[in-house]
Chain A
Amino acid sequence: QTILCLPRSFEYSQKNAVLVPAAALGVGGMMVFWLRSRHKIKTIEMGDGWWGSGERPLKGKEDESIRPFKIETSDKEIEDLHRRLEQARYTPPLEGAAFHYGFNSNYLRKVVAYWRNQFDWRKQVEVLNKYPHFRTTIEGIDIHFIHVKPSYVPHGRAVQPLLMVHGWPGSFYEFYKIIPLLTEPAGHGLNEGDVVFEVICPSIPGYGFSEAPHQKGFDTIATARIFHKLMNRLGFKQYYVQGGDWGSRITTNMAQMLPQSVKGLHVNFVFINKQGLRRMISVMLGAYVPWLVGLIREDVRRTYPFMQKNIYDLLRESGYLHIQATKPDTAGCGLNDSPVGLAAYILEKFSTWTDKSFLHQDDGGLESKYSLDELLTNVMIYWVTSSIVSSMRFYKENFSKVPDLAVHDRVGVYVPTGIAAFPQEIVHTPRVWAKQNFKNIITYTYMPRGGHFAAFEEPKLLAQDIMHFVRKVEQL
């Protein structure tokens, strides 16, 4: 209206003719900014899903009971395993190959010999059952989880609920060493102020003892929603979430979906955002198929002098991701039929992703950080549940939309976030890159040692960082 008045007021001074439109622009701009900032905190839509077999039943409410669960085994299962281990066919490694061609079969023979003769699955099942397990049906499938409460809570301390989500090729079992540090810190030499947790570790649907989805399209968003429903069913309105690998993306999605329920998000791995991914793809392509992105390669080479080497590493380590994101049923078929093949495939990751230099060792450095019992227990979880194929499908469901990671990356993460950056992690995400997505980083710690399987390998370091983060959030 002010502007429309102008032609009628031609007798006004020139000063007004400048000030008035400037003021209009200023007011207009402020209005726009205010309108936009009101909608700044976008969330991911929760939606809904059905993953059971066949059609979703129209009538009747879903059974929401939480049933106690115990892992069991049988002589038959163990004998079948032993028979397969005994009949394993190996291919001798090339001379001097160490772990450069993948899992060294000479060392694999030793692992299998231990597996057949010393590994005691019945004993490990008892170890697994030492924490309380449960199952409940959500969106048509059975969700498995463990729920560990502190046995003793000092007077006046609040117990924080903490959901911890595993990744691939891990399982809920990865958290077995860190759980006591979080539920009973004092008893383990961790005097971290007044932070005590009750821990819930679910199995991602399609992994371990959680039922696999029967329908296509089960991605991290569906998982995030199901885990929210789980926490809700357990009676929690607000909780902390922690994750690495897929767990990192699932918990991040949870924070984007229901920020009001997530008190704090702690991750030990950061998924690359869309911009970084596009940049990375072109750089990766440039290293290997230079003619396609020849134009971009020079910039990259000048800007990131060390990236060439890092990209080579990433390409070398991402073959599994490529095949699982495109042909999971093919890739997993043999692994579900050959425990030795399954062990080679999974343990290769526990070697290389713990320390890249383990590639040069004939035994992949596995036993320098883990015990064979622990490693094989994790492998057995995939074996006895026959979940390797469904665990791989998760890659296809999540990466089919790679060129445009629309949802996750346009929605920022506004809940208080803590990032633990481990030195031997596959990909390092600097704080500046993380800030593009995580708008509210409370702590960002450069951890002194450790790799991808942080909870498994360095439980104390990780527990300390989680507590440090939670204490800060509680003080806010």
Chain B
Amino acid sequence: MLTQFGATAESLSKASTMVFRIGTDAHLYDDPDDVSIVPLLDSKFESEKCEALKRLLALIAQGFDVSNYFPQVCSENVATQSLEVKKLVYLYLLHYAEKRPNEALLSINYFQKDLGDPNPLVRAWALRTMAGIRLHAIASLVLVAVGKCARDPSVYVRKCAAIALPKLHDLRLEEHTAAIEEIVGMLLKDNSPGVVGAAASAFASICPNNFSLIGRNYKRLCEILPDVEEWGQIVLIGILLRYAIAKHGLVRESLMLSFDDLEIQSLEKDDPESSHLTVKRPFDGSSFDIYTEIADIVARSYLEGPDKYLARLGHVNQDSLGLDGSCITSATSNDDVKILLQCTSPLLWSYNSAVVLAAAGVHWIMAPKEDIRKIVKPLLFLLRSSGSSKYVVLCNIQVFAKAMPSLFSPYYEDFFISSSDSYRTKTLKLEILSTIATKTSISSIFLEFQDHVRDPDRRFAADTVAAIGLCAQKLPDVANTCLEALLYLALSESSNNAVALMGEEEILLVQVVKSIMAIIKQDPHSHERVIVHLVRSLDSMSAPAARAMVIWMLGEYCNIGDLTSKMIPTIFKYLAQRFHSESVETKLQIVNACVKVLLRAEVEDMSELRLAISYVLELAKCDSNYDVRDRARVLKNFLSHCKGFNYLEEADNLTEFNDLTYVFAEYIFGGTKKVPSESFSYRFYLPGSLSLIVLHAAPGYEPLPEPCSFADDETSHSPTNVHNDHESNDIDDSDDISGSLDEENTSDYSSGSVSGEGGDSYIASDSGEDEEAGTLIHLSDDATDSRDHDRVSVKNTSSGLMDAGELMSKRALESWLNENSGSGQNSSNLSHVQRSLARISIKDIGQLVKPKSYTLLDPTNGNGLSVLYRFSSEVSKVSKELACIHVSFSNHSEGHMCNIFLAEEKPNPSPDSSEKSGSPSESVLVSLDKEATLIPMEEIDRLNPGQTADRVLQVRFEHHLLPLKLVLSCDGRKQQVKLRPDIGYFIKPLPMDIESFLKKESQLPGMFENIRRCTFSEHLNQQNDKDEPPQKDIFLMICEKLALKMLSNANLHLVSVDMPIAANLDDLSGISLRLSGEILNNSVPCLVTLTLKGTCAEPLEVSVKMNCEESVFGLNLLNRIVNFLAEPTR
């Protein structure tokens, strides 16, 4: 049954690839740009849009940069209702958002709209995409959105909110950290396990050490753990483990403290098998298990990170973990630890290998030693999952096995190598096998090893040989057997080599000799026979490394028995014969061996040996290789006074110097040195971590927290309170201000509004300022002010003004403080700041303001009628939502024109609308509700050639980007025109003084505040144009220029212009302009602060700060400001 099905499925899939490729998107992938994409994008049909987006996606997939389509995609398609188009747009948008931040911002409004959609899927997508755009400018908006979605009724949306938090955190917004962490805390408390899992991942990447968030619901998190979805489980397990250690410390019975345990109780060895492995501990003399020492290193590495630990190892004496009793807890008595172990143990049966490994890690670190056993079987079962995870699991098991071989030793069969394993897996298995081998299992393991020695992969065979050597060193009982097997291998391999010289074969032989050498080192006296055999087969060995090692052994062990001493003269004769054809490596060893033999050999026939050796040394002295020559010379010197070598030396008086050389020679080549005990320089990283696999600390790796480093304080305040206060204040204040609004003529920007409202810190201007044409500088500092009123002197004093800080009035300091606290700086050190401010007032700027005018219709298109419009700073008297626009009509044609009229575009314009609209009558006012977007203007009856007529249009724009489509009728002809909105005129000036400005500003911190930077270079043109007007101060000129630019492009009120007194001659840094306005339709104030940086001669860096409760509006306005500041005035 299965076969048949399999067969049909196969043929079906074949058929489908053949035939049904037509119906797929194949053609889109193959030729994504064979049609023009732009018209498709602009198409009315969803299917065509879809196709265009698919083509873009195909181009992205193939690595092309298609970000130039960004504006089209964003402007036209974000607003779509089709979910498929939405999805595709989002995919595209996220790919390029960072590259095109400005255009991406345009789409924010749609996302905000989508966030209110009844369909949770739409809400979730909107949130994911919005957060994925990752722009600093909208971070606060996203934060609000995330906060909202974190309370969403849909689990899926809440989950997406949790995942969105790390995206925000990535932007590194210090001022939002508290708010982000608060949302994390809230989501961790969520009822749905799905949300908790995602929240855990957010926690881990945002604030992994904020344990108070975990402490509050630790028990609940443990209980919910089995229901959390697998990916969340992985992260949550790690968090809970870290918390438990930080809160309660290590577990007394666990492996982590086994070393201390031993020290305290001088525990009896319970494992007789490895009792021979106990070695003397060098510094306190107590007997201890080598594995316990490794376990100790593991524990230290986990706690400190291996790099730190190993670095310390060099100079600080090892001591116990340094934990006092208070940092130790018990798994049996501590409920928190108990519940953690209980809740993670079923996860050892999970389908997800990462979950199993994470759970095993918890048990490894926290469980009592006898309970660790339960992680073994699940871990071994993981080896059957997929090839990729197998390798990672083995890396972890390797560490476990090193510290606690008894865990795995009964299961050695699971590490038997299968031919389908990758090379790395094989070597890992070999290493584990040699670690866990015991007396009982070694025979089976060896049987396996013998098979591997014959493996076609010689590299692997060599590794096997190395593993055999390790086993033999570990278990001296089998050393003999191993040695014999290895020896046979060496002999047969060397004979094989003679037949087929393959580079690969050498590896094996060298490794065999190396392993033999290692085994012999442990107990040279009982292995004399082996050395003899090896030396005898020297002739057939061709690998230089192997030969060198055999010769080393010969020299090192030349005096251990009769057989060797009998052989030595012959051997050296042989070596002398072959010397010229040896490789450098071998030559060096031969020379060494000569010295050793002469120093210790008890050979009967010394003369023969002496001859051979001196011949060798002479040969070496004339060798072509520097190293060999040098060594031969040095050693010959050494030897000049050795016994039996004296005859070479003419002078036989033994000077002290010669004595010394003899001592040196003895010291270097003489005494049988003890093999230094193996130093453990393993790098242990936490189980399941990436660092463990790559064997270096990956960025972001953190060792376990310091035990008991976290003291739970229930009184930790939540940062929300602060926030709420601000919000409530804001509401109050905005009410106040909107209430005090009046219909004043705001186009008058006389300086009176600034200087007249000066606070008590202002010094009344004296006679000097009147001479200054329209400008003056108020120093907000009594002392400096009284000293001098001249600008120049301000500059002079500013350079040496050390006492300005003391002299600075309280008022100015306060205002300054407020300003800075608003921008999120650390206010603690502000009291020490020694700066002073001067206030510049710019007079009569209102007259200089010239709003930019735009063309509605140019004469070529309009049969000679040209229509220009500019936004007016007037405020409509009809409704506060309407913006006033001055429209000027001028006739450039020969004949006159009649009945010129602008009206809203309607599908069927009613015939009488034009009559009605003759004057703004009562009916129009009445009908003015949400629908009305235009208060019709007065009709121009007749326009003579060359004549110009001005009209005022009152318009309500739907959106700050959507142009208003109007119909211009002239002489009965109708023509469509587009009136483009300017967000700078969606506001009206809000007159206020500097105090209320600063107060307001301080109430709008954090998410209501946005800063962007741009460069302002217009003042440079000015300077170049008219060679520095001498009577005008350059500071003033620039401030004026900037203020003018602001006021000509946005309907704002200039509150104040401040400059720091401590400013340098040319340095404009610190000058700040404050402007205020309120949004037309809801009277929400917008505060703009421009701060300059740079010098007069260079383009200025202007940072524009926007404080506005309507974040979206504020942001859009901010962008507009930045744009017009950067663009030159025509």
Task: Please say whether chains A and B are actual partners in one complex.
Answer: no
